[in-house]
């Protein structure tokens, strides 16, 4: 016999997935993961038996609860549910799904809405970092309607500002966990950086590609993908992440110049396929690398150490990132790195889960 649990299906940025309050799911992490696999219809390439869309971008889940941490309003645990494997990975964060977390928390009564806009501090459990989200709430109600457009999503919606406040080195312990701004792995110069998401940043030309190819073209380049995955696995060990062959982090990213000031072209991998747009956390990491002298990305800059507005160009368009450096000599290189996303609530209802899964 199946059991019904509440569920809200939302788009966050260029991703989509179900959101749950923590008290809607089992406390035991192993049983919770079984519920998420069942909810998404994994493991199956098409996920026809669940909410998943047969892509890593539509096989994500968010679990939200009130926070007991000082200065934080809610806790957010992100779960990447494998499409064709029996695996749930809670090591990474997802900035796109993060855009859906704040409106979800307001509408579910976890946070009281302001009369014009509502500012929340979100503690990301995966990376132990804090993100500030600003949601439009005219009259004390979340609105999804607006004039903001993000590349990779049809139409327009209300803006949601996401400010990453302390996401530097939260997973590995250092923004440059190998102690270097450039390492050489298999004769390929790379930058291993932990800024919102552990990344392995590679100049596209080092792997014999331009860096502005379509995702389909890059996915078809099996030799390049094999080299990139080999570099990623070795980088994972150097970053202190151990054997990453069964983990989605660190994420590999190809970067190249685009001939315009404070702009960079990026191809972000998830990690075995090229993202059709770009991860938010990946854009934050690329912007941090772009602003840091001596990195692979900074070597593509048209100015020595760009600050302020940086444009990350991706297959579906671009993401504008705003970088505010630390000016008071603090331990962090950045005060905040922010960008705008949008979200939409698609449906709210009851999800049927096999009784033996819920326990």
How do residues 119-152 score in pLDDT, each as one tens digit?
A: 999 999 999 999 999 999 999 999 999 999 999 9
Give burial (CB, 10 Å; 0-12/13-18/19+) of 299.
Answer: middle
Pair 154, 189 in one domain: no
Q: Would you state the pLDDT for residue 304?
A: 47
| Strand residues in the chain grouped as ranges (E) | 2-12, 15-21, 60-66, 74-81, 88-89, 117-124, 129-136, 160-164, 183-185, 188-194, 198-203, 251-257, 263-268, 308-314, 317-325, 334-341, 343-354
Run of H or E residues at 355: helix 355-358
Phi/psi of residue 129, nearest 5 degrees: -120, 165
DSSP 269: B
- Rounded CA-CA distance 43/48 in Å is 10
7 and 149 share one domain: yes
> Is 301 among the domain residues?
yes
CATH of the domain at 291: 3.10.310.10
CB atoms inside a 10 Å sphere around CB 248: 18
The count of residues in the chain is: 359
Q: Which domain holds residue 260?
A: 183-333
152 in a structural domain: yes
Residue 194 lies in a domain: yes
* 146/195 same-domain check: no
Q: How far apart are CA 263 and CA 56, in angstroms?
A: 27
Bridge partners of 184, per DSSP, are: 189
Considering the domain boundaries, does residue 175 fall inside one? no
In this structure, are 197 and 153 located in the same domain? Answer: no
Tokens read off for 183? 């390492």
Same domain, 310 and 354: no
Residue 172 lies in a domain: no
In a domain, 167, yes or no: no
| Per-position pLDDT tens, the chain of length 359 | 889 999 999 999 999 999 999 999 999 999 999 999 999 999 999 999 999 999 999 999 999 999 999 999 999 999 999 999 999 999 889 999 999 999 999 999 999 999 999 999 999 999 999 999 999 999 999 999 999 999 999 999 999 999 999 999 999 999 999 999 999 999 999 999 999 999 999 999 999 999 999 999 999 999 999 999 999 999 999 999 999 998 999 999 999 998 888 899 999 999 999 999 999 999 999 999 999 999 999 978 665 445 688 999 999 999 999 999 887 766 678 999 999 999 999 999 999 999 888 77
User: Is the same domain home to 252 and 307?
Assistant: yes
**Is 178 within a domain?**
no
Same domain membership, residue 146 and residue 40: yes
Whether residue 97 is found in the same domain as residue 66: yes
C-alpha 5/C-alpha 38 separation (Å) is 12
DSSP string, 233-257: HHHHHHTT----TTS--SEEEEEEE
């Amino acid at each position: 016999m199946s059991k019904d649990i509440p569920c809200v299906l939302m788009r966050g940025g260029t991703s989509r997935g179900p959101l749950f309050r923590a008290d809607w799911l089992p406390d035991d992490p192993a049983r919770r993961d079984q519920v998420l696999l069942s909810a998404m219809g994994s493991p199956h390439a098409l996920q026809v038996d669940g909410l998943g869309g047969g892509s890593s971008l539509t096989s994500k889940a968010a679990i939200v609860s009130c926070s007991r941490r000082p200065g934080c309003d809610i806790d957010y645990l992100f779960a990447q549910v494998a499409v064709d494997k029996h695996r749930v990975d809670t090591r990474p964060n997802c900035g796109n799904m993060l855009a859906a977390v704040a409106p979800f928390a307001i509408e579910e009564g976890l946070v009281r809405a302001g009369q014009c806009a509502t500012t929340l501090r979100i503690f990301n459990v995966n990376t132990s970092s804090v993100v500030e989200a600003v949601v439009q709430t005219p009259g004390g109600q979340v609105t999804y309607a607006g004039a903001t457009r993000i590349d990779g999503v049809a139409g327009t919606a209300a803006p949601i500002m996401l400010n990453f406040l302390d996401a530097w080195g939260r997973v590995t312990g250092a923004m440059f966990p190998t102690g270097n701004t450039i390492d050489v792995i298999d004769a390929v110069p790379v930058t291993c950086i932990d800024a919102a998401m552990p990344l392995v940043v590679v100049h596209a030309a080092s792997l014999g590609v331009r860096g502005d190819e379509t995702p389909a073209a890059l996915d078809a380049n099996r030799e390049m993908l094999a080299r990139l995955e080999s570099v990623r696995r070795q980088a994972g060990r150097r970053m202190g992440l151990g054997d990453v062959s069964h983990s989605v982090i660190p994420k590999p990213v190809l970067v190249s110049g685009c001939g315009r000031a404070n702009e960079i072209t990026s191809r972000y991998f998830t990690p075995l396929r090229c993202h059709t747009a770009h991860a938010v956390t990946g854009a934050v990491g690329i912007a941090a690398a772009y602003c840091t002298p001596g990195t692979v990305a900074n070597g593509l800059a048209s100015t020595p150490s760009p600050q302020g507005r940086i444009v990350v160009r991706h297959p579906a368009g671009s993401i504008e990132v705003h970088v505010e450096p630390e000016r008071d000599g603090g331990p962090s290189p950045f005060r905040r790195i922010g960008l705008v996303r949008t979200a939409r609530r698609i449906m709210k209802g009851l999800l049927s889960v096999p009784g033996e899964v819920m326990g």
